Amino acid sequence: MNRRKLLQTLGLGTTGIMLSDALSACNIFSENEIKEKGKTILLVSGWQDVNIGDIAHTPGLLHLFETFLPEFRIILWKRSNGDEVKKLLNKNFPKMKIIYGSVDKDKNVDNPEVLDAMKQADLMIHGSGPSLVGADNLDCWIKHTGKPFGIFGTTLQNPSEYHTSILKKASFIFTRETNSIEHLKKAGIEGPHVKFAPDATFFLNIRNDEKAAKFLKEAGLEEKKFICAIPRLRYTPYHQINPNRNGWSNEKIKQVEETNAKYKEQDHAKLREAMIAWVRETKNKVLVCPEMTYQVDIMDELLINPLPEDVKPYIVKRGYWLPDEAASVYSKAHTVLSFECHSPIIAAANGTPMFYLRQPEDTIKGQMYYDLGFNDWIFEIDKVTGKEIADRLREIWKDYKQSREKLTASLAKVSDIYRDRCKIVQSV
């Protein structure tokens, strides 16, 4: 069955995850045919391993390519080099080659494997991310090959002069929210090759059901009888995470710490109000879990210790994890409420309703929620009360079927966008 006929058979009601799985089964090209066609994409992705959202960009985009560009072989030029994430990718994409290599100031690489991959590849793609994180990688590609390249699902807010010089040479630019398109126009970049394509995490399909089932059983969490709550400070304290203090000045660190201290209680009090309503009215549990490593240390202070005594026995904690286990747990959750942007996306990809509690410091990436019709599930934290969040959560548990149907419709829209954008990649 060809892909078009399969889509007609599946119909509009199919969820994004089911659609992607079904399309993966329609890979009509054998390995030998792929080699004969000589079609290869060099993907630069994998920015950091301290955030399950940043990790999830890569397998999400790889699955997207498997689904809509099955005739292409993918070589992953991975930026971060953590062993756990490498094992995760090898387990789920065993045929894909992963290479590493740094780019120096002259735009040369320190690993001959990278140059060999550049010779093999017909096209280079910059994966989803918070900015043009792989600018040096792209500039290296430009210097050594002169072959086409593109951007897939990336925020491009106020691009620098250096980034703009690279973007002007791109064959296609797919921004992960529509606001970036306006930022590109101001930089003098526009045209039919500039389009919206949401974060590739929406196509994440990796799971670790066995590990998740063990955790859920030990924690006493029953399917669809618990919600997840994820904290976040206004600014990620990278100066505490990175050995060189993230290159921040003392003034920058002071500003970050003062802003975080100012807002952390008023932000999280609003999420706690929804948690309290859930526990008292449903008598079900709450899993407090992290999207980033540092959040393990702030869970108690911001989301657990201030809770009323009658609510605390219903709270369960989880340490840092990888996106495959998180995806399996979120798939069993009733709803995911998060100050971080990507846990809700991972939940959505697994058919679970979600709320994104957006802080204004968290860049323009949140616009993609509006772009995809999630207006009722994104909350601008400075403009909403805890009661309003609790009321919206109550609406979901009162009519869960309608909420899941709403999610299915939005995921179908995501799949349609990805399919269309991949046609552009094919044409390049």
pLDDT in tens, 235-256: 999 999 988 888 899 999 999 9
User: 265 CB contacts (<8 Å, ≥6 apart)?
Assistant: 302
Both tokens of 373, joined, read 């019709």
Q: For 30-85, what is each residue's pLDDT tens digit?
A: 344 334 456 999 999 999 999 999 999 999 999 999 999 999 999 999 999 989 99
Find the Cα–Cα–Cα–Cα dihedral 304, 306, 310, 316, rounded to 10°: 0
Distance (Å, whole) CA 29 – CA 416: 22
Q: Which amino acid is at 415?
A: S
Q: How far is CA 93 from CA 98, 230, 297, in A?
A: 10, 29, 33
Q: Can 3-204 and 209-411 be said to share one CATH topology? A: yes
Both tokens of 369, joined, read 């929620």
User: Tokens 């911001």 correspond to what residue?
Assistant: 302
Contact yes or no for 256/239 (Cβ under 8 A)? yes
Both tokens of 74, joined, read 């993918």
Q: How far is CA 337 from CA 58, 106, 109, 189, in A?
A: 23, 45, 42, 36
pLDDT over 90 for what percent of the chain? Answer: 88
The rounded mean pLDDT for the chain is: 91
Q: For 123-135, what is each residue's pLDDT tens digit?
A: 999 999 999 999 9
User: What predicted TM-score, i.e. pTM, was given to this entire model?
Assistant: 0.90
Cα distance from N-terminal residue to C-terminal residue, the chain:
26
Overall average pLDDT of the 314-334 stretch: 98
User: Tokens 């897939």 correspond to what residue?
Assistant: 152
Task: Identify the band that residue 216 occupies on the pLDDT scale cut at 50, 70 and 90.
Answer: very high
Task: Report the top-level CATH class of 209-411.
Answer: alpha beta
Q: What is the pLDDT, as a whole number, of residue 38?
A: 60
Q: How many residues does the chain have?
A: 428
Quick one: 398 exposed, middle or buried, by C-beta within 10 A (0-12, 13-18, 19+)?
exposed
Quick one: 350 exposed, middle or buried, by C-beta within 10 A (0-12, 13-18, 19+)?
buried
Q: What is the pLDDT, as a whole number, of residue 424?
A: 96
The domain segmentation of the chain, as residue ranges, is 3-204, 209-411
Contact yes or no for 213/222 (Cβ under 8 A)? no
Half-sphere exposure for 409 (CA within 13 Å, toward CB): 9
Does the structure show a pLDDT above 80 at 344?
yes
Q: Which residues of 196-231 are buried (b: 16+ CB within 10 A; e: fewer)?
A: bbbbbbbbbbbbbeeebeebbeeeebeeeebbbbbb
Neighbour count for residue 362 (Cβ, 10 Å):
19
Does the structure show a pLDDT above 50 at 13?
no
CATH code of 3-204, in short, is 3.40.50.11720
Nearest Cα to Cα of residue 275 among 225, 219, 227, 230? 227
